[in-house]
């Protein structure tokens, strides 16, 4: 072996080149014998001399000590910003940070976490975390992967500065995870799923809710099902639909019909859409991607939540060719972040922007908060941070609070101008709860409104959306010609949809039912919801004497009871 070749091999080891002496043969110009690829030999050169691993490494060490060390120490490419930290330095220059070191950084002024085997310094991010600093500090110095992944899209950590990505944790220093076997909740879920019928056996939308309560985790169920305070508005949203009855017309040929419609310039095979709802991964590992694929297969529109647990890029990539989606946005306290997001959404091909305005301030979603009582944990802090920080809340954070801290509560009508300035897409204002505000939306020049009270999750005793729709038909019918009106909240059947359409809604949104179906049966469940709705809408329309959406008229629906006196709809001819 020449001195030059030996030097090259030594350089390869020090620089961490792929051809490591410990794992490969030296190759000469002559024929070789054997397959010495392992640590015991490197092959036989043409003159029959075998070099053992020990001899080769010894030669390299001697040569490098006398000839190469000064040069290698000056090679900045092998230095790392983490070199000063305890851990293992790999030949290629990467530093593996010891778990013992990570455990030292658990304070407000010095906070590290491990996620998917990588260490992150989140100290500067604490005050900006949407869910507040408490949940991060409760997991500081630990592996937070299990609690992080269901609540965040894959690109969530990209927001951190490059220097906050500290590098991989040394796997050899990680504590062994004690196998305690399945938890009681995991056993409960496993048994429930064994007895759960297939998606085809679900005959009503309510069936998915019944099984979702049985097979979802407590965290998922309570987040999906939760509503504000005593949940009066949640119940009223559904009860209100029961106050409206049909007046069917007979002797119409309803042999054939069509459920397709167009709203916001988007064609849809059904007059329904998926209302934006967050955290689909709590119910199924594929998360919102299931909703996207299911909507694509059924030809309906998906509203994408800004708080989705899948990244926007993942969701948009899951669309079929030509599939339309609407992006829902809350405005960020940092308006530059909202500007960038609006521009990205338009660039990726969303058909419209849905500006949610009915979550202007925080609410207590009682079930969700109760389910997260275990989040509260002792938090280490410096004396400086203790004196400067606010007193910790005695109430634990629910999932809802954990994902919404970035939302701005300082919203005004001027924010519609801000959105218009940053996108050319049509704007829908979601969360309108009075007829007067529909008029103001018309005045502001938006293209659509969604009458909604956030599924009863924000203001308890907010009016049921179908009641506002009825009020608008009775008192301000001309508004239906000036702006496209949609509605969501409390919809649990095809009959509910037909009532809203007859009163003037262009389309009707469903949120929880799709989350429940995704949690029980994944994409198949999403598609089954569409099948059930198609069947029920068809049956209801034709039994009312309507073959198409255009044939539905306000006089086909009205208050329960006899239509006489004050109970008679105002738009009907006088008796």
Backbone angles phi, psi at 2, to 5 degrees: -75, 160
Q: Where are the alpha helices (DSSP H) in 423-511?
A: 435-444, 465-475, 494-503
Q: Work out the number of other CB atoms within 10 angstroms of the CB of residue 129.
A: 18
Q: Judge whether 330 counts as a catalytic residue.
A: yes
Beta pairing partners, 167: 119
DSSP class of residue 140?
Answer: T
Tokens of 108: 């407000």
Residue 303 burial by Cβ neighbours in a 10 Å radius (0-12, 13-18, 19+): buried
For residues 468 and 52, give the distance between their C-alpha atoms in angstroms, rounded to a whole number. 86
For residues 222 and 211, give the distance between their C-alpha atoms in angstroms, rounded to a whole number. 14
In the set 358, 437, 488, 496, the catalytic residue is 358
Tokens of 382: 């410096």
Q: Judge whether 454 counts as a catalytic residue.
A: yes
Beta pairing partners, 118: 115, 168
In the set 454, 488, 516, 521, the catalytic residue is 454
Contact assessment for residue 466 and residue 557, using Cβ atoms and an 8 Å cutoff: no
Helix (H, G, I), strand (E, B) or coil at 95: strand
Beta pairing partners, 263: 266
Q: Work out the number of other CB atoms within 10 angstroms of the CB of residue 415.
A: 17
Q: Closest by alpha carbon to 541, among 510, 570, 569, 500?
A: 500
In the set 121, 330, 408, 467, the catalytic residue is 330
For residues 157 and 113, give the distance between their C-alpha atoms in angstroms, rounded to a whole number. 12
For residues 407 and 404, give the distance between their C-alpha atoms in angstroms, rounded to a whole number. 6
Q: How far apart are the first and last CA of the chain?
A: 111
Query: 91-96 contacts: CB < 8 A, separation 24 or more?
Result: 91/13, 91/14, 91/15, 91/16, 91/20, 92/15, 92/16, 93/16, 94/167, 94/168, 95/167, 96/167, 96/168, 96/169, 96/170, 96/171
Backbone angles phi, psi at 244, to 5 degrees: -115, 130
Place of tokens 């203001």: 459
Contact assessment for residue 131 and residue 397, using Cβ atoms and an 8 Å cutoff: yes
For residues 113 and 125, give the distance between their C-alpha atoms in angstroms, rounded to a whole number. 12
Q: Judge whether 258 counts as a catalytic residue.
A: no
Tokens of 564: 């006489």
Who contacts 267 (Cβ-Cβ below 8 Å, separation ≥6)? 260, 261
For residues 490 and 272, give the distance between their C-alpha atoms in angstroms, rounded to a whole number. 13
Beta pairing partners, 353: 327, 427
For residues 531 and 537, give the distance between their C-alpha atoms in angstroms, rounded to a whole number. 10
Residues recognised as catalytic: 330, 358, 454
């Amino acid at each position: 072996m020449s001195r030059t070749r030996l030097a090259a091999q030594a350089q390869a080891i020090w620089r961490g080149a792929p051809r490591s002496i410990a794992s490969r043969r030296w190759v000469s110009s002559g024929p070789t014998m054997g397959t010495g690829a392992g640590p015991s030999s490197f092959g036989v050169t043409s003159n029959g001399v075998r070099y053992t691993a020990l001899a080769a490494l010894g030669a390299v060490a001697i040569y490098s000590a006398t000839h190469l060390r000064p040069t290698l120490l000056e090679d900045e490419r092998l230095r790392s910003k983490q070199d000063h930290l305890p851990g293992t330095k790999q030949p290629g220059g990467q530093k593996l940070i010891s778990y013992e070191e990570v455990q030292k950084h658990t304070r407000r002024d010095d906070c590290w976490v491990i996620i998917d085997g990588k260490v992150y310094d989140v100290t500067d991010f604490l005050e900006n975390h949407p869910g507040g600093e408490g949940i991060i500090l409760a997991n500081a110095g630990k592996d937070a992967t299990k609690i992080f992944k269901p609540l965040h899209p894959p690109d969530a950590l990209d927001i951190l500065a490059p220097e906050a990505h500290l590098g991989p944790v040394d796997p050899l220093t990680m504590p062994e995870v004690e196998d305690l076997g399945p938890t009681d909740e995991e056993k409960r879920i496993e048994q429930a799923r064994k007895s759960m019928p297939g998606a085809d056996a679900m005959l009503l939308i309510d069936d998915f809710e019944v099984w979702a309560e049985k097979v979802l985790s407590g965290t998922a169920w309570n987040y999906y099902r939760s509503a504000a305070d005593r949940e009066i508005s949640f119940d009223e949203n559904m009860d209100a639909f029961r106050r409206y009855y049909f007046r069917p017309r007979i002797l119409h040929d309803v042999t054939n019909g069509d459920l397709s419609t167009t709203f916001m310039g988007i064609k849809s095979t059904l007059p329904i859409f998926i209302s934006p709802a967050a955290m689909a991964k709590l119910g199924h590992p594929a998360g919102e991607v299931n909703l996207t694929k299911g909507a694509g297969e059924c030809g309906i529109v998906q509203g994408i939540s800004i708080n989705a647990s899948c990244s926007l890029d993942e969701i948009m990539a899951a669309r079929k060719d030509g599939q339309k989606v609407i992006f829902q946005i809350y405005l960020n306290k940092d308006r530059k972040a909202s500007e960038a997001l609006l521009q990205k959404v338009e660039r990726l091909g969303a058909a419209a922007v849905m500006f949610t305005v009915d979550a202007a301030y925080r609410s207590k979603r009682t079930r969700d908060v109760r389910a997260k009582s275990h989040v509260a944990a002792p938090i280490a802090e410096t004396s400086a941070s203790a004196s400067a920080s606010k007193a910790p809340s005695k109430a634990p954070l629910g999932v809802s609070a954990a994902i919404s801290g970035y939302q701005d509560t300082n919203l005004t009508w001027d924010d519609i101008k801000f959105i218009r300035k940053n996108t050319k897409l049509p704007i829908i204002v979601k969360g309108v709860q009075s007829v007067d505000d529909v008029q103001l939306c018309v005045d502001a020049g938006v293209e659509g409104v969604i009458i909604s009270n956030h599924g009863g999750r924000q203001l308890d005793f907010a009016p049921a959306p179908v009641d506002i729709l009825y009020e608008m038909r009775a008192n301000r019918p001309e508004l239906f010609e000036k702006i496209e009106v949609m509605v969501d909240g409390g919809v649990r059947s095809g009959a509910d949809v037909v009532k809203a359409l007859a009163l003037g809604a262009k389309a009707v949104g469903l949120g929880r039912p799709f989350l429940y179906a995704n949690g029980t049966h994944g994409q198949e469940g999403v598609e089954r919801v569409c099948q059930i709705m198609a069947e029920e809408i068809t049956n209801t329309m034709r039994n009312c004497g309507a073959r198409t959406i255009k044939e539905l008229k306000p006089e086909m629906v009205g208050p329960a009871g006899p239509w006489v006196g004050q109970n008679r709809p105002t738009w009907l001819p006088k008796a």
